[in-house]
Amino acid sequence: MAQIRGIKKRMVAVGTIQRITKTMQMIATAKFTAAVARAKATRPYTQKIRQLVAEVAAAAGDVQHPLINGPAESPKRELILVISSDRGLAGAYNGNVLRKAMHHIRDLRARSIAFDVETSGKKAVGYFKFQHVPLAHRHTFGDKPKYEEVEHVVRRFIEQFTAGKYDAVRVAYMRFESNSRQVPELMQLLPLKPPAPGSTSTSAGAASGGGAATGKPAPASGQASQAKASYEFSPSSAALLEDLLPLTVKTALFQAFNDAVVSEQIMRMVAMKAATENAKDLGKNLRRSFNRARQTKITTELTEIVSGAAALE
């Protein structure tokens, strides 16, 4: 009897867990749908800004800008921003991002390079506290990061970088590629990587459609390197870069936050779906064990009744 009661209690508990995980899966699905819409809406703007910066920088020739060249005297100090989640139950989301960041921190320590760590999300705070890594700042953006809040953070990063406090600013986050692929990445936010001399970025070349930028048919493969678009800038290309480069940094970090939110929700959705399926399978096994235990008890009672009746004859 005690065994049957124990199995029954476990069945009730597993059923409750299954309902909870199913509800969390539905919530994560709704949040993922909204987050992926925001991420897809901002990605074309981010790509276009990068394309425009590449074209302007290529036309300007030898680009000289603090956000590209960095401080005059390298302080050998880096700033690392780690983007995690505020809640758990998201599969390997936080673990992959935090391991990526910690691997880089160990590499900096091995090379005797000083660093400061800033976090976004409670899980990163708890992890670095466990690892005895001091935090310079803690950010909270939630499930819907706002551009104004991210811009405020980037403005401070740019000021500290151009002032010579850091020679590099990196961001550890989960980059969203597709519904089935999310990749932990350590992105170099500052300094910006200058474009190759006389050429634009890969995205810019893809967007321009080969020779479409000059209004002529695409050149042959042997003449592709000689095709160049001619631009006239007003104001000058240097003045344009003065406005475009900070905007590029801001949009890059904002896109990283959007990708991180999408990756978190889809990984939580997958984790909760797996938990629901596991609870369902466990419930079936418990139901089978419960039926066997009850049948065994009934058989035992019948045996005792028959034996008692036979003893009275």
Rounded to an integer, the average pLDDT of 294-305 is 85
Instruction: Give the position of tokens 């949040």.
Output: 31
Q: How far apart are CA 203 and CA 207, in angstroms?
A: 6
The pLDDT of residue 210 is 37
CA–CA separation, 118 and 313 (whole Å): 86
> Are the beta carbons of 245 and 67 closer than 8 angstroms?
yes
83 within 8 A of 125, measured Cβ to Cβ:
no
According to DSSP, the β-strands at 114-120 and 77-83 are: parallel
Q: What whole-number distance in Å separates Cα of residue 277 and Cα of residue 286?
A: 14
Could you tell me if 213 and 229 are in contact, meaning their C-beta atoms sit under 8 angstroms apart?
yes
Q: Rounded mean pLDDT of 10-37? A: 91
> With pLDDT > 70 as the criterion, what percentage of the chain qualifies?
82
75 versus 225: the higher-pLDDT residue is 75
Check if the beta carbon of residue 269 is closer than 8 Å to that of residue 28. yes
User: For residue 130, how far is the Cα from the chain centroid?
Assistant: 22
Q: What is the largest CA-CA distance in the chain?
A: 116
pLDDT number for residue 187: 92
Helices and strands in the chain: count of H runs, count of E runs = 7, 5
- The pLDDT tens digits of the residues spanning 44-90 come to 888 888 887 877 777 666 667 778 777 666 678 899 999 999 988 88
The answer to whether 28 and 282 have CB atoms below 8 angstroms apart is no
Pick the CATH number of 59-194+233-267 from 3.40.1380.10, 1.10.8.80, 3.60.20.10, 3.40.50.720: 3.40.1380.10
Question: Per residue in 299-308, is it b (16+ CB within 10 Å) or e — as a string?
Answer: eeeeeeeeee
